[in-house]
Amino acid sequence: MRLGIYTFGDLRPDPVTGKTISPAERMAQMMEMAKLADEAGLDLIGVGEHHGLDYVNSATAVQLAAIGTVTKRIRLSSATTLIATADPVRTFQEFATADLLSGGRVEIIVGRGAFNDNYALFGHDMADYDALFVEKLDLLERLNTSERITWRGQFRSPLSDAPIAPRPAQPRLPISVGAVSPASVQRVAREGYRLTLPLLGGLIPRYGQLAELYRTAWTDRGRSASARPEVAVFGHAHVSTKSGAMADFFPYYSAYLEPLFKGSIPQDQYRAFWSPTGSLIAGSPLQVVDKLSLLHEATGCDLFAGQIDIGAQPFSQVLRGIELLATQVSPSLRNLGNDPADSRRSSPRV
């Protein structure tokens, strides 16, 4: 089982001090996180996409390209790319450029996102929500497999023997699809993509059921034994050796989830998040190992990436969490799944 981190670059006031850092400072923090994760031996760093004023991550390929120039071995992934409202040609070019700059370490996770503000921002109609996603993902896949393409669709001008450059350093950019509803998970399997499950509350066994749906749908398509279905899980994480970690983390996690709860997290809900089967991967290194072992047992995931820098926590605390993940959590997970040294995976799509 591989282990990584990801960030959405949230830009919020510290709920304890009231201070909000600048966008430039937040960008610098994420670069430092990436360098530490690389040096400490984690397997992946992901950058999510948002377009509101309280986030700095709106151009993820640019950020990954910058990270690629200051890291040596860690895999670089979007988390996620909102392909439905993007131009797939431009998206492919940007990620291929980042792949060249990083020496072939870039991956793409596509998804629909947690917010809908990007539809109006980029001139799309929410009524076309599903059709946009299906068409643009199909085009992205075609761009990924051929340096010249002829194509026609509903939402973009046609392409006639168009050259698609640059080509990435890898033969193909690995593409995964984020999904969390049963129907979407089954569709990901039918189309032959690796599945990324976001932990969005609830209990871990629920995500095991979704992973099982994915594998069943994969097998039902009659795929060969060599085309193994792969599952990654992304979720909120907090690792601390402090005895009062649960209480200390509350104001930051509550501030991050305030838009969802329209106020502070109810204490019973917060305790449920921290429970042994809850969706928040949090606690001491041993508690995190236990919960990730349960997550692996339930879902068969070969990668977990934790969003560890949420809610304007003190940055020293974020860096300490990365160190604990790498030095005290990751070694215990190495024998749970595939060989983590094999970090250059090809896309599982068949």
DSSP string, 12-42: ---TTT-----HHHHHHHHHHHHHHHHHHT-
pLDDT at 349 over 70: no
Please tell me which residue, 350 or 26, carries the higher pLDDT value: 26
Residue 302 in contact with residue 233, Cβ under 8 Å? no
CA distance 11 to 22: 8
CA distance 219 to 192: 10
Q: Which residues contact 247 (CB under 8 A, 6 or more apart)?
A: none
Q: What does the pLDDT average to over 292-314?
A: 96
| Token pair listed for 193 | 């993509």
pLDDT digits (tens, 9 = 90+) for 118-153: 888 888 888 888 999 999 999 999 999 999 999 999
Q: Which residues contact 277 (CB under 8 A, 6 or more apart)?
A: 203, 204, 205, 294
> In this prediction, what percent of the chain has a pLDDT beyond 90?
86
Nearest to 38 by CA among 343, 348, 347, 346: 343
| Token pair listed for 135 | 């068409």
**What does the pLDDT read at residue 224?**
65
**What does the pLDDT read at residue 342?**
39
Domain 2-333 has CATH 3.30.70.260: no
> In this prediction, what percent of the chain has a pLDDT beyond 70?
95
pLDDT at 350 over 50: no
**What does the pLDDT read at residue 338?**
47
pLDDT digits (tens, 9 = 90+) for 239-280: 999 999 999 999 999 999 998 899 999 999 999 999 999 999
Helix axes 129-145, 88-102, angle to 10 degrees: 50
CA distance 178 to 214: 12
**What does the pLDDT read at residue 119?**
83
